[in-house]
Amino acid sequence: MGETIGQAERVQLPAVMETLAQAFQTDPALSWILPDPDHRARALRSLFHVLVPADFRAGVALRSDGDEAAALWRAPGQAHSGTLEFLRSVLPLIATFGTALPRGLKVQGSIDAHRPKGRFWYLHYVGVRPDHQGKGHGGRIIRAQTAVTDREGLPCWLETATPENVGLYERLGFVTQAEWDVPGGPYFWGMMRQPT
């Protein structure tokens, strides 16, 4: 498996959106926010239509050359959304989540409350299309950026609500720094990777 990992160009962002929408269909947090699978499938396409351009502006979007995997990394100092980004996204997010918006805000609030301060690269989203999972694509696309963060001497942070992913992230050098429950909802791990 020698696929090339590279930075997505603006014209490739729709493929990144589709990869992540497919990859997150069974995500525990998004499944709790949007319990109906059909609604979730539609909503995820709308959600990533908002998130991918925002993260592209705030950092880097990576993709494998066959669009098996994609990752959104927010640059140091860009982990928290600013006022302008919030205003750009608020109406599309209300339309996307509808009555599920309070659950979405509850999850986002808990993530924001547990994210550390300081300078680090933030792995906001990483995903592999379902028919390509378990083949090493996720590890390869993460290592493509951690090689950059190592050269820069900067740590990386991520959150996951998928227990099966904790071991993968540990093998990539991430260490659990925080664990928490969203009241009535998913359980999260917050993980930091120090530069090597």
At residue 61, what are phi and psi to the nearest 5 degrees? -110, 125
Domain with 164 in it = 5-193
Pure H helices in the chain = 13-23, 28-33, 37-58, 83-97, 101-114, 137-152, 163-171
What is residue 79's three-state secondary structure?
Answer: coil
DSSP states of 59-90: EEEEEETTSSEEEEEEPTT-SS--HHHHHHHH
Closest CA to 169 of 191, 152, 137: 191
Average pLDDT, the chain: 93
* Residue range 138-162, pLDDT digits in tens: 999 999 999 999 999 999 999 999 9
**Residue 184's domain is classified under what CATH number?**
3.40.630.30
Share of the chain above pLDDT 90, in %: 83
- Mean pLDDT value across residues 153-182: 97
- The single-letter DSSP state of residue 180 is E
Which residue shows structure tokens 């239509």? 49
Q: What is the CA angle 128-21-167, rounded to 5?
A: 40
Domain count, the chain: 1
Write down the pLDDT at residue 1. Answer: 45
Beta bridge partners of 7: 62
Which residue shows structure tokens 């979007």? 61
Q: What is the CA angle 22-80-51, rounded to 5?
A: 25
Write down the pLDDT at residue 4. Answer: 92
Report the alpha-carbon distance of residue 111 to residue 155 in Å, rounded.
18
